[in-house]
Amino acid sequence: MSITAEPDTGSLGGERRLPPPAVLIATLSTVGVVVSLMQTLVIPIVPLLPGLLGTSPTNASWVITATLLAGAVMMPISGRLGDMFGKRRILLVSLSLLVVGSLVCALSSSLGPEIVGRALQGAATGAIPLGISILRDELPPQRVGSAIAVMSATLGVGGAVGLPLAAVIAQNADWHVLFWTSAGLGALCAVLVFLLVPESAVRTPAPFDFLGAIGLAVTLVALLVAITKGVDWGWSSGSTLGLLALALAAGLVFGWYELRRKAPLVDLRVSARPRVLLTNLASIAIGFALYGMSLTFPQLLMAPEATGYGFGLSMVAAGLALAPGGLMMLLLSPVSARISAARSPKLTLGLGATVVGLGYLSAVVWMGAVWQIVLAASIVAAGIGLAYAAMPALIMGAVPISETGAANGLNALMRAIGTSTSAAVMSVVLAHMTMELGGHQLPSRDGFLLTFHISVAAAALAVLITACIPMKRTADAATPS
């Protein structure tokens, strides 16, 4: 596969102009925060969704899962399209999908349109790997490491920032205002990208892999529907087993097909390199642990005190209590880059996963006061900030520059598979391990504890996988193929 450096005249004609590095980093990081904010936009109103949409709690959980699922599917697709047609151009398309999806949600009050709109919002998540690739293409080498660390961390920072912002809006206005706000933020980001982000000159011309995209979508949809509905249908029911079999078969066919294409959606030969493969597997586990915090801690803080474990906080108070987590991620992403440069990104990733596990363990041991939950969430967020910022450094040191967009898209896909699977699993646990209070079904204390134990196990798995990552640089990692 070849790469080309095409002259670009920018949106206004004339010579290609590059903004100052700080402006480029700030613009793309803002986009990353806004896009990832969609993951937690509706978390404060999760307990209200069944009533608002006239459906069951399990079905309402798809308002969250659809966003994460669409993001998982679109990340490698966006990366590949960016390599082919221009990263800035596809970034603008991604932001347009966010705006359209927000408008669909803002104008509807039933389950079907909300799921469609939320899926369109999630499709914009591909903006993050595109932003990482633009930074690598455009920045001076000495700025790339720290800039990519910050951009990668926005996937977690946006989710943390989204909680208090969404809580303030949901508590003081109609819930549809959440989506009018996200539409405005998406439009603002599109304007900033149009004015301040140059089109990358690095291209990898190739036909788009439509069948690969379909295979990836079928695999992920079948898997997540089976996980989400498994308890309702029965884990041994024909529907659940059939979907799991479909996910397995579609995944195998997808892999077989991708290995035989000259320009695959996901280059499994590059992805099969031990360093890339193991980093991506660790990314799944870290992504899983991240969303355990985003979904469970707010519900725990807002649960009524009469449950015996809840704190009865308002949506705003719960969001503000968890806001330090976003700050921790933002502060630790450049620290992660420095540790990776001084020692190795493998060490940083393992350290981050360890800190995540310790955070959830503290939640298991101490969940009797608000400050204890805030401390646990901050520890988890610190670990996520360290780990997320280390992943692109590991990946980019092992792939040729012609595969930058696709490789970043695949790594972001692995994180998204972790978060979307976590959303499905945690939602099922909390929806079915319940207690009755005042005629309402609420998650039980045991349900929350189980989600924390599951997240500890995911973090421990990430540590074990990270320990196995080889760090010998491959000969073609830094040269075009």
Which CATH number fits the domain that encloses residue 125? Answer: 1.20.1250.20
Query: What does the pLDDT look like over 200-239, one tens digit per residue?
Result: 777 776 778 889 889 988 998 888 788 777 767 887 888 8
338-360: average pLDDT: 90
Lowest-pLDDT range of 159-163, 190-194, 208-212, 352-356: 159-163
Residue 399 sits in the same domain as residue 442 = yes
| 5 in a structural domain | no
pLDDT digits (tens, 9 = 90+) for 94-145: 999 999 999 999 999 889 999 999 999 999 988 888 888 888 888 888 787 7
Residue type, 451: T
**13 within domain boundaries:** no
Distance from chain centroid for Cα 415: 6
Is 472 domain-assigned?
no
* Total number of domains constituting the chain: 2
Strands 440-443, 434-437: pairing kind: antiparallel
* Six token digits for residue 41: 């936009």
- Considering the domain boundaries, does residue 12 fall inside one? no
C-alpha 225 chain-centroid distance: 19
Residue 19 is given by DSSP the state P
- Among residues 238, 262, 286, the one where a domain terminates is 262
Specify burial of residue 327 (Cβ count, 10 A radius: 0-12, 13-18, 19+).
middle
- Same-domain pairing of 315 and 392: yes
Same domain, 250 and 109: no
Cβ distance 227 to 426 under 8 Å? no
Task: Clarify whether residues 291 and 302 are in a common domain.
Answer: yes
Verify that 396 and 341 share a domain, yes or no: yes
396 and 281 share one domain:
yes
Which residues, in sequence order, are bridge partners of residue 434? Answer: 443
Answer whether 417's CB lies under 8 Å from 284's CB.
yes
Residue the block writes with tokens 């998406």: 186
Which of 73, 86, 32 minimizes the C-alpha distance to 216?
A: 73
* Number of residues written out for the chain: 481
**Which domain does 451 fall in, by range?**
19-200+263-467
Res 264: pLDDT:
80
Checking if the pLDDT of 245 tops 90, the result is: yes
- Regarding whether 368 and 411 lie in a shared domain, the answer is yes
Same domain, 216 and 309: no
- The residues, any chain, with a CB within 8 Å of residue 94's CB and separated by 6 or more, are 35, 74, 78, 123, 124, 125, 126, 127, 130
Quick one: pLDDT at residue 292? 77
Please say if the pLDDT value at position 64 is more than 90: no
Q: At 95, phi and psi to the nearest 5?
A: -70, -30
**Residue 473 pLDDT class (50, 70, 90 cuts):** low
Do 229 and 271 lie in one domain? The reply is no
Identify whether residues 222 and 341 lie together within a single domain: no
413: in domain: yes
Per the domain annotation, does 481 fall within a domain? no
Predicted confidence (pLDDT) at residue 363 exceeds the cutoff of 50: yes
Identify whether 114 is part of a domain.
yes
465 vs 414: CA distance, rounded Å: 14
Confidence of residue 409 (pLDDT cuts 50, 70, 90): low
214 and 247 assigned to the same domain: yes
Structure tokens at 228: 């989400």
Residue 338, domain member (yes or no): yes
Name every residue whose Cβ is closer than 8 Å to that of residue 332 and which is 6 or more positions away in sequence: 153, 382, 385, 386, 389
Task: Classify residue 126 by its DSSP letter.
Answer: G
Distance between first and last Cα of the chain: 6
Mean pLDDT of 246-263: 90
Q: d(Cα 94, Cα 186) in Å, to the nearest integer? A: 9
Shared domain check, 188 and 285: yes
